[in-house]
Structure formats: C-alpha cells, structure tokens
Amino acid sequence: LEPDLVGLGTIADIVPLTGENRILAKYGLRQLASTKKPGLKSLLQVTGLWGNELFSWNVVFVLAPRLNAVGRIGSAESAFELLTTFDHTRAIQMAKFLDEENKKRKKLDEHIFAEAIEMVEQTVDLENDRAIVLDSDGWHVGVIGIVASRIVEKYHRPTVLVSVTDGTGQGSARSIPRFHLLNAVKDASDHLIKFGGHKYAAGLCIQPENIADFRKAFLKAANSVLVPDDMIPTQKLDAELQPDDISMDLLNWLKLFSPYGPKNMRPIFFLQSADIIRPTKIVGKNHLRFKVLNSKQGFDAIAFGMGDMKPLIDNAIEPVHLAFVIESNNYYGYPQVQLRIKDIKIGDWKA
C-alpha cells in the first residue's frame, strides 16, 4: 500500500470522504506531506506546498489540476512519469512541465469561458430559458466540462457545451441541484449518437446538424421541471457564530473533523452585522480582501471573484452579513485564522 498515492487519488477523484475513504484520505495526506517519492515531492515544491500541512483542498485545487491538465490538453503520460520516476532531476523537470501545462489549460479555460459568456448574452433568453446549450467549432474538448461548470456557477442553469471537431460534436454538461441532468439528456437522446453520466454531469456525442433540435428538446425538458425560484442560487448555512467565537481554538477543533470533502464538507458559518474595516481591497483577479473585527483582534477575509462588491460594502449603510468557512493562512510565516467568504449579503439577509 502506498498511502500518499492512495490519499491523493481518493481526494482527487472527488469521492465521498466518509468511512474508509476518510481514513485513507487522512493518513494519505499525512504521508503525502513527507513523501519520499521524487515526483510527488517535486510537485509539492513547485506548487509551494512542500513543508506545509496539507489539506484536501490542496489536492483538489492545486495538485490534481496539474496532474489532470496534461491529460486534458495532451497526453497523460507525463503525469504518469512524474508519479513513477525515481530520478530526482527528471522529477523536477516533469513537475515544472505539468505546472506550465496547467497554465496553458487555464488560458484555454479563460478563452472558451469568455466566448461562452458572449454567446449567452447574445443568444440565450435568460428571462425564459431555464437551461443553456452552446456549441462552437474547435473548442477544446478537454476543458469544456470545466467551462460548463463555470457557466452553471454564473447563471445557475443546467448547461451543455458542445465542441464540433472533424464533423462530430462532443459535449459536456453540468447541472444545478434541483435538476436531474441525465434524465433530461435521455429525454433528448433521439438527437444524440451516444451519452452517459449522472444527476450532475454528463457527456454526449452528436451530429452537428442535430444540435438545434437537441437544444429545443433539452430546453423543453428543463422548462417543464424548473421554476423561476430554481434559478436563484441559495447558500446553505450550518451555524451562526458570534464575532468572539472566531478563534484559532475553533479552527483547531474543526481540524479534528478533516479531511473535508463530499458528504463531509467544511461547515459554513454565518456572521450577522460583521464589523468590517473599510475600505476593502481588490487583489489578484477581482478578489476582495478585508478584515473582520471582534472584541479582541481582526481576521483576514478573502472573497474570491467578488471584487465587484467593493463599492457596495465600502459605502454600505445597512449591515453587512457574511457566510464563510474558517481556514488557516500561513501568508505571514505562521498559521492565522482566515475567513474564506462564500457569500455576502447587505441589508435584510432573509430577503
């Protein structure tokens, strides 16, 4: 048994982290942090994770994307070589190569995402259509699933993206909680060559001349099941905290329930009328950073992709409410509590 590889694979495969999976993931992460495998160690070094405590989200958002990137846009052999080589020099080379390939994959994501957004704004009736079906020549089939997930996140509608290459369309579909994606694809399957998937994700093949009819059938299925309220995203809250409840002690207590993942997600906390130091700051690619105060100290908070809310928060007269998870941030060289913001509400949070 190779605990580091088992833990890596278990978490990267997004399986429920309960029962034996949680045990394998927990001890796998511990072994991974001190692995002696040249490839894994090199990948941890290249990503800046070597020497740090590892969490499941480090695998999901940092390691796994680099291992998967080469398979998405080329050949997975490079990832296999990294994981199996005993040559330290070659391992460093491969880790750097995977890192560069992941950057290329991100650029592809951004390019296709921008094209898809433009198509939605120009061709989709967001007032009446409760699903989105887009197609284009030459979209890279290895990344359209990722982009479909981003479209779902932005518009909160079931989404199908189809890439037409060499006379055949290959599609990836993603869904929202109240819509069974595979059932809808089955309802429109007369227009497909083949398909497969489950409630939240599916893949399909289609002749280009059938895309328009598939779109009509898929929209019909979505419009018959979904109601306007389903188009409004909701944020589940696990518990309300008072400002002085936030502490390193709470963070350490929460670590006992890790590793977190499907069926064992990090609890999402709610803080009413947060005391925020203003003005807030925009960092990176439209991320919002600010401090939240309690009676004893201030805590860093980061809201990814929420930079557009800066003027609303900075000028808010009504209370600002926060939904967040608590995590550790070693930015200053030692662990500190950080709030990763999941949602921000100004005024009546129940409205």
* In a shared domain, residues 243 and 342: yes
pLDDT at position 334 is: 77
Per-residue pLDDT in tens (0 to 9) along the chain, 351 residues: 699 999 999 999 989 999 999 999 999 999 999 999 999 999 999 999 999 889 999 999 999 999 999 988 888 999 999 999 999 999 999 999 999 999 999 999 999 999 999 999 999 999 999 999 999 998 999 899 999 999 999 999 999 999 999 899 999 999 998 899 999 999 999 999 999 999 889 999 999 999 999 999 999 999 999 999 998 888 899 999 999 999 999 999 999 999 999 999 999 999 999 999 999 999 988 999 999 999 989 999 999 999 999 999 999 999 999 999 999 887 777 788 999 999 999 998 876
DSSP SS3 for 316: coil
Query: Of 183, 205, 231, which residue is a domain's last?
Result: 231
Domain count, the chain: 3
Per-residue burial over 147-180, b if 16 or more Cβ lie within 10 Å, else e, is: bbbbbbebbbbbbbbbbbeeeebbbbbbbbeebb
End-to-end CA distance of the chain: 52
Query: Domain for residue 113, yes or no?
Result: no
Query: Domain for residue 309, yes or no?
Result: yes
Query: Domain for residue 313, yes or no?
Result: yes
Question: Domain range for residue 147?
Answer: 124-231
The predicted-structure confidence for 214-235, as pLDDT tens digits, reads as follows: 999 999 999 999 999 998 888 8
Query: Of 72, 105, 138, which residue is a domain's last?
Result: 105
* In a shared domain, residues 329 and 308: yes
Strands 132-137 and 159-165, by their bridges, are parallel
* In a shared domain, residues 26 and 51: yes
Query: Domain for residue 177, yes or no?
Result: yes
* In a shared domain, residues 128 and 223: yes
- Show the tokens assigned to 282: 């925009």
Query: Domain for residue 119, yes or no?
Result: no
Query: Domain for residue 272, yes or no?
Result: yes
* In a shared domain, residues 243 and 340: yes
Q: What CATH number is associated with residue 219?
A: 3.10.310.30
Query: Domain for residue 146, yes or no?
Result: yes
- Show the tokens assigned to 143: 């990344």
* In a shared domain, residues 227 and 245: no
CB atoms within 10 A of CB 127: 6
Residue type, 160: V
Q: What CATH number is associated with residue 327?
A: 2.40.50.460
Residues 161 and 171: their CA atoms lie apart, in Å, by 5
Query: Domain for residue 194, yes or no?
Result: yes
